[in-house]
Chains A and B, each alone.
Chain A
């Protein structure tokens, strides 16, 4: 499995990377950890003349934990998310979810930016970021802009990011003390994408609920979140099951996926409620 040839670039800053994307247009793509892109390149389902490796760009690295906001550089790896104690103290949901992604080798190189920007409905971080009400910072030829995670996903592999833009940072509001969080994921085997996964925050009269791999985008439901904020678990689950649109595939038929979605959501709610202050 040999990918098609390409020219390799390793720019040292965001401006240079955007310059390369501008110069080559459709022919260029960025690569972060590469564990979604390289398999597609090996299958020749992705081909590009220019590969722009983001690994040398310091501006894309680092985890900053503030009192109100956590920011994650796009090139922060899943492994770094897991091993950062300050992050685990501020938003334990992130470590809990990252530990359920892929396997150790993939987590050493897989990045949070790649996970959210790729637009793969199977990825865990998009639903998680919608639950946390994160904001994605994008840089492009026309400058910088921010897009809410809840507005970012349009369809499978289609997002609000333009081809010549790079997702640079993720900002996440730190949930208040007393907010319980949980991520629950059903998969066929370790390392697999979710059959269904649920991210839940609840406490202090607020709630937020999102699910993964049950539609062609992550699903955050305002009505499900509102029901849970009112303490109505059955109403929350009913609203979410109404919002998802699973399709039959090798992870099971629609009825099974809806069943698993309900089970995952109830388990996540239960654990999040137990953790709420």
Chain B
């Protein structure tokens, strides 16, 4: 199969490459672009470790062909740091509230939580759990993941208020 020209915006930077249409986005990110934040977990669209943000939607990049997202704007966990490279609010709150144990699910958790809080800046605990249902933590560390997301919502809202 001939390769196609792929052009994406990833974490604010324009990137280009050649890929077979059958290439899965997760493989293109990790192997071609060396962006290894998104993880390959179950590879069957259940676990959410490969979650990235595509044009404002949380998507499992193991179940997406790079051909389908040609031209898209993609954000991975690497793109959620502050401009100076320090940890972003969600990343910092996951650290502070021990929202990770082995850490394998964390990039997907944080990337999904980012979109959840964009859509719902004041989620209840139930809304967080329902909104995070596409991400599995095999360490079963959900309690602290929920706390970290809830704390992130509070901090983001406080920052927004302070800026206004």
Q: Which residues of A contact B (CB under 8 A)?
A: 1-8, 10, 31, 34-35, 38-39, 41-42, 51, 53, 55, 79, 102-106, 108-109, 190-191
Contacts of B48 in A (CB 8 A): 103, 105
Mark each residue of chain B from 16 to 50: 1 if its CB lies under 8 Å from any CB of chain A, else 0: 00001110100100000000000000011110100
> In this assembly, does B104 line the interface, its C-beta being within 8 Å of a C-beta of chain A?
no
Measured CA separation A105–B27 after assembly (Å)? 18
Please list 7 pairs of residues, one from A and one from B, whose beta carbons are closer than 8 Å in the complex, sorted by A's number.
A3-B22, A5-B20, A34-B63, A34-B64, A39-B45, A104-B131, A106-B60
- Specify which chain A residues have a CB less than 8 angstroms from the CB of B68 in the assembled complex: 31, 34, 53, 55
A8: chain B residues at CB < 8 Å are 4, 21, 65, 67
| Min CB–CB distance B135 → chain A (angstroms) | 8
Complex Cα distance A103/B132, Å?
A: 8
- A51→B134 contact, CB < 8 A: no
Q: In the complex where A7-B21, A34-B63, A34-B68 touch, is A191 in contact with B57 (Cβ < 8 A)?
A: no
- Contact of B80 with A by CB under 8 A: no
- In the A-B complex, list the 9 residue pairs whose CB atoms are closest, starting with the nearest: A103-B134, A8-B21, A5-B1, A108-B57, A105-B134, A8-B67, A103-B133, A190-B133, A3-B22
Residues of B within 8 A of A39 (CB): 44-45, 63
State the Cβ distance, B30 to closest chain A Cβ, in Å. 13
Docked complex Cα distance between A8 and B27 (Å)? 18
In the bound complex, residues from chain A placing their C-beta under 8 Å from that of B132 are 104
Tell me whether A106 and B45 are in contact (CB under 8 A): yes
Distance (whole angstroms) from the CB of A10 to the closest CB of chain B: 8
Residue B51 is within 8 A (CB to CB) of chain A in the complex: yes
Residue pair B134, A106 in contact (C-beta under 8 Å)? yes
